[in-house]
Structures are given as C-alpha cells and as structure tokens.
Amino acid sequence: MSNEILKLEAFPHQTHDKVRYGDTDRQGHVNNIHFSEFLETGRVEVLYHPEQPLHGEQCSFVIVQNNLSLLNEIHWPGVVYIGTGVVKLGKSSITFYQQLFQNDVVVAAAETVIVHVDNITHQSTPLLAHARAVLDKLIIKH
C-alpha cells in the first residue's frame, strides 16, 4: 500500500501540525527530517492518547521499519494535514499507512511498522485487547 495515494478523507484518523519557520532549510522549504516529525504526530495521537493509551503497563511502542516517500515540498507558512490508518495488525505489531498533505496536495506517504515492547525485557509483547479494539476501528477501508 505504500505507493497508493488516498484522499485525506479516506483516513480514519486525521490531525494537523503547524509548519514553523525553523523547520525550513536554505532552499526555503521544510527540511526532510521534519516530514518524519509530522508523521509522528499522527501516530502518537493514536498510540499515546492521554485518555486511552494503547500500551501495556511498563511497555511502549518502537518503530522497527519505516518506508517514507517524499513526494512534494512543504512550505512555510502553512499547515500540514496528517492522515493515519492501520493496514495490518499482528500479534504485537501495527502497520500504519500515513500521508501528509499541504494545500490539498500529497507531500509524503509512509508505511511504518510499530511493535509493542516490554520496557524491561526489550522483547515484543502482545497488543492489549482494548488496543486491538481501537486499532481495528482505524483499519483503512477503500
């Protein structure tokens, strides 16, 4: 799915970030490193929501694979809209598909695999039942 372009409305979770002047580089567009930060905003709102975090006690989520395609430039000033959805759920892993949009143009697409990990043993640990229920609702249907 990593090359499939969707509309923002196709994503079950949508949010946004403000583009900061400090995000720009010498060419006047947003530095590539900030694309990953915008994607992180979308994932963190899902995984670590203050009212309903999805991780177990003494567990966290770690990125084990990230495939990011930079498709267009992002410019300051402005807003970046972030579409986030789930494309696959494993026993302890989640595969997210995300796109970034500015001015209704897709500027990046990413497929990211996240694993639920025990912070003490550093081993993967199964997703909690309530996490699976929340993530099931975020599966992209198209």
Please give the pLDDT value at position 115.
98
Q: At a CB cut-off of 8 Å and minimum separation 6, what does 47 contact?
A: 53, 54, 55, 61, 114
Please give the pLDDT value at position 27.
84
| Rounded-to-integer distance, Cα 2 and Cα 5, Å | 8
- pLDDT tens sequence across 16-71: 999 999 999 888 889 999 999 999 999 999 999 999 999 999 999 999 999 999 99
Please give the pLDDT value at position 142.
65
Nearest to 83 by CA among 101, 69, 65: 101
- pLDDT tens sequence across 67-108: 999 999 999 999 999 999 999 999 999 999 999 999 999 999
Domains of the chain: 8-136 (3.10.129.10)
- pLDDT tens sequence across 102-128: 999 999 999 999 999 999 999 999 999
Measured in degrees and rounded to the nearest 5, phi and psi for residue 57 equal -65, 135
Q: Which two tokens stand for residue 40?
A: 């992180």
Half-sphere exposure of 106 (CA within 13 A, CB side): 19
Q: Which two tokens stand for residue 76?
A: 């300051």
Which pTM was predicted? 0.95
Q: In this model, does residue 2 exceed pLDDT 80?
A: no
Give the chain's length: 142
